Amino acid sequence: MDKLITHSPILIIAIPLLAAFLTLLIGRISEKARNVLVVVSLVFVEFLVIVLARDIYANGIHIYTLGASSPTLTIPEQYMVPVRIILQVDAMSIFMGIIAATVSLAAAIYSLSFMKEETGQDSFYTLLLLLVAGMLGMVFTGDLFNLFVFLEIAAISGAGLAAFRIRFADTAEGGFKYLVISSAAALVVLFSVGIFYAQYNLLNIAALAQVIQYTMLDKVALALLVIAFAMKLGSVPLHMWVPDTYAAAPASITAMLLVSSQICMYALFRTCFSLYGVTLNTATVGWIVIILGMLSMFVGATMAVLQTDVKRLIAYNCICESGYILLAVGVGLAVLGHPEALTTYGIAAMSGGIFHMINHALFEGLLFLAAGVLFYRAGTRNLNEMGGLAHNMKLTSILFLLGALASSGIPPFNGFASKLLIYESVYQFNPILAIIGIIVSIITLAVFVKAFFSAFTGQVLPKYKDVREAPKLMMLSMIILSIIIVFFGLFPGLIVDWLAHPAANALINQAEYINAVVGG
């Protein structure tokens, strides 16, 4: 068991990779064996993530030096800088790992029945596993170039998956947009990695953080990194790809692409907090992040009102919700240099934002999966063409409503808990921001009420008379997500104390992050 925990960071990344290589081979022999392989490997990853999470919350940061003679030998003997690639898993990373593993597992189970009619499923599951590996690799790595490599893995597999249903006209375009945006963002990231390498001859994040001087070049690199990650996470000035790609992808993949954007958000926070830390002008950068968040909230909410396509509607809502996270963590970043403000409301704001991350992934994932059921059974995504679906799809409509209420911050669901925490702490920073947040939340509620009524209530339209409830496996994955949502909604204090607060502390505590690698 000790050995398993020691090696679990690499196993979490390597097992989906291995399974992906095997999927193509096994898929030729038997479809059933392939499905079993996919689900078993994802369940195993989920198990490892939970085991590792328990260890990290108990014992602190986990280090794994690849190719060295011992996992904790980060720096070669009698030398001063790390040479090899180091995986560095702290509370924040494992928090993102939990999100990625859980949503991917639910999405994979959902796909088993959602994609049953499609051809080329071998490629589909291969790409799905590669997307999982890419996301987890981005989260766990402590090396900037390695981050770029996994960013590209996630981008390419995500684009392939978004374009998977080639019989529709819009899918190739959605995938293409995603790929162009991602590869441009990744190349910009690589350019800034080059800038760091030119100055310090280092690629490890912790070792760089120790020596970084915030020269003019570092400022340029920071600006480029913020632009690149903002582009990739779909923050507002650069959000045009989000609805197109999310609407084009299969429902289960959309939920995973959402997590993938969140992981780019994680990369942004990692850059700001762990790489630069207090050396950067925290107030300026914090306000930039806050403004990005406010714009995302506002534009996302107002554009969602105009949508008639249910998946585009949810996609705009995603932009809006990610604005809340940026707002909350931006507040934490803005007060990073002031210990007093940080303890009174900064950490609370960041815990709220981080708690909102997992909530966001869960309820938007649930909404996308429910929208997928609508498309699967009713054959359309247009809300104006739907009506009265609740008569035949009772459970789906309840789950959709649950996700919608959680998203608009109605008690007792999880969205309410995290949004309340965000409002409270942001109010102390700047009351106007909190008030805007509440208004946006009300708009979100209005959007979902409209969507729910037009899709589910009213007379049963004649063409939907024979619509049936969702297949069992799709139902199972949605129920898994909704149980977690309800649980988080009922016991928010527990989750904040156990998961979100340690994660926020891990982001703030830069010294610990650095010490884990270069402290010896």
Partner 1 sequence: MTQGIPFNVPFLAVAALIGIAFYIILSQRNLIKLVMGLSILASGVNLFLVTLGYREGGVAPIYTHAPIERMVLPVPQALTLTSIVIAVATLALMLSLIIRIYRHTGSIDSEESRTMKG
Partner 2 sequence: MRKIAMAVSLSVFIAFLVATAFLIRPFGYPPSQMDDYIIENAQSETGTNNVVTAVVFDYRGFDTLGEATILFTAVAGVTMLFRRKRRE
Partner 3 sequence: MMSKIVRTMSNILILFVFVYGLYIIMHGHLTPGGGFQGGAIVASGVALLLVAFGSHNLHKSLKERHLSILESGGGLIFIGLAFGGLATIFFYNFLVGSPIFGHIPPSGPNPGDIWTGGVIPFMNLAVGLKVLAGFSAILLVMALASSRKEVEE
Q: Which residues bind partner 3 (CB under 8 A)?
A: 7, 10, 14, 17-18, 21-22, 24-25, 28, 64-71, 166-167
Residue pair 121/115 in contact (Cβ under 8 Å)? The answer is: yes
Pick 307 or 397: Cβ nearer partner 1:
307
**Residue 376, Cβ neighbours under 10 Å: how many?**
18
DSSP state at residue 31:
H
Number of residues this chain uses to bind partner 2 (CB under 8 A): 51
Q: Which of 88, 127, 375, 355 is nearest to 251 (CA)?
A: 375
194 touches partner 1 (CB under 8 A) = yes
Binding at 410: pick from partner 2, partner 1, partner 3, none (beta carbon under 5-8 Å per type): none
**Residue 2, Cβ neighbours under 10 Å: how many?**
7
Residue pair 389/364 in contact (Cβ under 8 Å)? The answer is: no
Binding at 49: pick from partner 2, partner 1, partner 3, none (beta carbon under 5-8 Å per type): none
159 touches partner 2 (CB under 8 A) = yes
Q: How many angstroms separate the CA atoms of 63 and 67, rounded?
A: 13
Q: Which residues contact 441 (CB under 8 A, 6 or more apart)?
A: 408, 409, 419
Binder among 87, 94, 159, 358 for partner 1 (CB under 8 A): 159
422-441 mask for partner 2 (x: CB under 8 A)? --------------------
24 touches partner 2 (CB under 8 A) = yes
249 token code pair = 């992808």
Q: Is residue 178 within a helix (H) or strand (E), and if so which, with residue range? A: helix 170-200
Binding at 180: pick from partner 3, partner 1, partner 2, none (beta carbon under 5-8 Å per type): partner 1
CA atoms within 13 A on the CB side of 390: 14
Residue pair 326/289 in contact (Cβ under 8 Å)? The answer is: yes
Pick 218 or 244: Cβ nearer partner 1:
244
Q: Strand, coil or helix: what is 420?
A: helix
Can you say how many angstroms the Cα of residue 490 is from the centroid of all Cα atoms in its chain? 23
163 touches partner 1 (CB under 8 A) = yes
Minimum distance from residue 193 beta carbon to partner 2 (Å): 12
Binding piece for partner 1, criterion CB under 8 A, among 192-200, 277-285, 287-295, 354-362: 192-200
Which of the residues 172 through 201 are near partner 2 (CB under 8 A)? 172, 195, 198-201
Pick 30 or 215: Cβ nearer partner 2:
215
Binding at 133: pick from partner 1, partner 2, partner 3, none (beta carbon under 5-8 Å per type): partner 2
204 token code pair = 């490890």
Pick 207 or 310: Cβ nearer partner 2:
207
- Is the bond preceding residue 412 a cis peptide, omega within 30 degrees? yes
Q: How many angstroms separate the CA atoms of 33 and 26, rounded?
A: 7
Q: Strand, coil or helix: what is 116?
A: coil
Q: How many angstroms separate the CA atoms of 194 and 212, rounded?
A: 14
Pick 160 or 352: Cβ nearer partner 3:
160
Question: Residue 115 — φ and ψ, nearest 5°?
Answer: -100, 15
Residue 87, strand partner residues: 64, 141
Binder among 44, 47, 176, 287 for partner 1 (CB under 8 A): 176
Can you say how many angstroms the Cα of residue 98 is from the centroid of all Cα atoms in its chain? 10
Minimum distance from residue 425 beta carbon to partner 2 (Å): 33
Which of the residues 241 through 270 are near partner 1 (CB under 8 A)? 243-244, 247
361-380 mask for partner 1 (x: CB under 8 A)? --------------------
Q: Which of 256, 302, 242, 325 is nearest to 443 (CA)?
A: 302
123 touches partner 1 (CB under 8 A) = no
Residues that bind partner 2 (CB under 8 A): 17, 20-21, 24, 66-67, 76, 79-85, 119-120, 123-124, 126-127, 130, 133, 137, 145-146, 149-150, 152-153, 156-157, 159-160, 163-164, 166-167, 172, 195, 198-203, 215-217, 220, 223-224
Residues that bind partner 1 (CB under 8 A): 145, 148-149, 152, 155-156, 159-160, 163, 166, 169-170, 172-173, 175-176, 179-180, 183-184, 187, 190-191, 194, 197-198, 201, 203, 240, 243-244, 247
